[in-house]
Amino acid sequence: MGAIMKRVEATTEKQDILCAETPAGPVSLVVFGASGDLACRKLYPSLYELYRRELMPSGFYVLGCGRSELSDDRFRDMVEESLENAGIENAQGFHDFLGRFYYESGHYNDTAFYTRIREKCIVLDNLYNLDGCRIFYLSLPPFLYTTVTEKLREVQLACPAATGRMQTIRLIVEKPFGTDLRTAKDLDDHLHRCFDESQIYRIDHYLGKETIQNLMVFRFANSIFEPLWNRTFIDHVQITIAESVGVEHRAGYYDQSGALRDMFQNHLLQMVALVAMEPPAAFEADSVRDEKAKLLRSIRPFTPDRIPLEVVAGQYGPGTVGSQQYPGYRDEAEVNPSSQTETFVAAKLTVDNWRWKDVPFYLRTGKRLARKLTEIVIVFKHIPHSMFANAGLDEFEPNRLRFQIQPDEGIYLSLQAKRPGSKLCMSGLKLAVDYQKLFEMKMPEAYQRLLLDCMTGDQMLFTRQDSIMLSWQLIQPIFDYWAENHKNLCVYPAGTSCVSCAEELMEKEGRKWTIL
């Protein structure tokens, strides 16, 4: 018994070591667009949580930069308000944390603005005796990316020794990474004139979610599932990103974007890559991102003859949810009344490799649907023969393995099992792992993971340049087809759980979507 206990203790200790986070080294974070919605809702609360968990170094500061004219104190008040809105009030180290925030105002195309930023960084580096890492975070509209990065290069802030101290320089860029293949390539060429690929961290916040990260552990650390992860056992894969909200305050942007650009090119394809990629040689950034790029190269290109059969688009019309009446997309403020922008898109992808031959991947995403839901569903093949046919049970629902990413993260496996009662009292059984209930904690915000990884120099959860180009190459033919042909938009009522054109996409192949 003593020997057994020692082995258990050793295993627990080893797991605890693996679960330990690596704290960031000395770091300065320069945030452009510091008074904007993203920075206030996501960045500042995430930074505070890292600080509270002692994952921020003693030497760090945040320099907010933007067009709003704010003093350091007014900026700190704004950060404090953002923490309170996130449910964080006067907690441990609150005032020390806020005291590390500073601000510089100016116009993004004004070289003098960046000179002032450099001078302020010199003062703050000396104040905090900071050698280490400087991160420039572009929390900005994408059209400003080239302006800001060019100015950073012009005043040599992209240079490690720009402030008189040798520092590692990194750049965080938010999506969208271009609006089509040409603009994505132009942006990429520009960024690489100013920064090396090893310095660029392209954020896709879905990759920072716990359940998405768990895909690799689930697949490659369990011998029970990886042997089944192929065409022999899997019938098809469904990936859904459904939103119950409409365009809200993003109408001006969204009417120029649409669902295909907003969700498909980035979040959905990155999720496909993680589900379907081959085992990486090692758990390290380049190995994982190499396999994701290989998978994206294996997706069959869309051709004009296949697009109308395998890609469908929709737009929400007026509808009622409960007692609440919602307008149609074209009736939303700032939306063109004759807009042809799709608020819903579904598509069938085919992966041309050994593992996934003849296994379709069905993807859908849309706004103003019945509920908020992001999930990956692995649908296994039907049993080849039912021994219960003589009792009228000749067909069963297939087993499904479901990774729910939001609203509540978890993993669920559906099985057929016997219920108490007669010999053939059978029903579906769900094995459930609810992260929040199991670990008795609120799931960390994805930006916590991504910010910490950037500070420690780990690019695994950030999108590499080749994956960006491969994603745009894949969907550009759809944009070209829609530009040359009438986009056949199916109109669905706001709040619906069923978009007819998407249902037809699967029903013609004898399959059904999971219920929203």
Partners of 373 in beta bridges: 242
Please choose, from the candidates 260, 223, 295, 271, the residue with its C-alpha nearest in 3D space to the C-alpha of residue 404: 271
Are 489 and 315 within 8 A, CB to CB?
yes
Which residue type, as a one-letter code, is found at position 262? D
Partners of 412 in beta bridges: 402, 432
Residue 100 sits at φ, ψ, to 5 deg, of: -95, 5
**Residue 148 host element (H or E):** helix 145-154
CA distance 393 to 382: 13
The DSSP 8-state label assigned to residue 387 in this structure reads T
Which residue type, as a one-letter code, is found at position 367? K
Active site residue 267: yes
Pair of tokens at residue 99:
């005291």
CA dihedral sign, ordered 377, 381, 387, 390: positive
Burial letters 218-232, b for 16+ CB under 10 A, else e: beeeeeeeeeebeee
Catalytic site residue from 107, 192, 236, 267 = 267
Q: Write out the DSSP string of 201-265.
A: EEE-GGGGSHHHHHHHHHHHS-TTTGGGSSTTTEEEEEEEEE-SS--GGGHHHHHHH-HIIIIII
**Tally of residues, the chain:** 516
SS3 487: coil
Identify the residue whose tokens are 């057929």. 416
422 burial level (CB within 10 Å; 0-12, 13-18, 19+): exposed
CA distance 511 to 219: 25
Helical packing angle, 285-298 and 465-484, nearest 10°:
20
SS3 435: helix
Which residue type, as a one-letter code, is found at position 67? R
Q: Can you give the three-state secondary structure of 82-139, one letter per residue?
A: HHHHCCCCCCCCHHHHHCCEEEEECCCCCHHHHHHHHHHHHHHHHHCCCCCEEEEEEC
**Residue 374 host element (H or E):** strand 373-380
Q: Which residues are catalytic?
A: 267
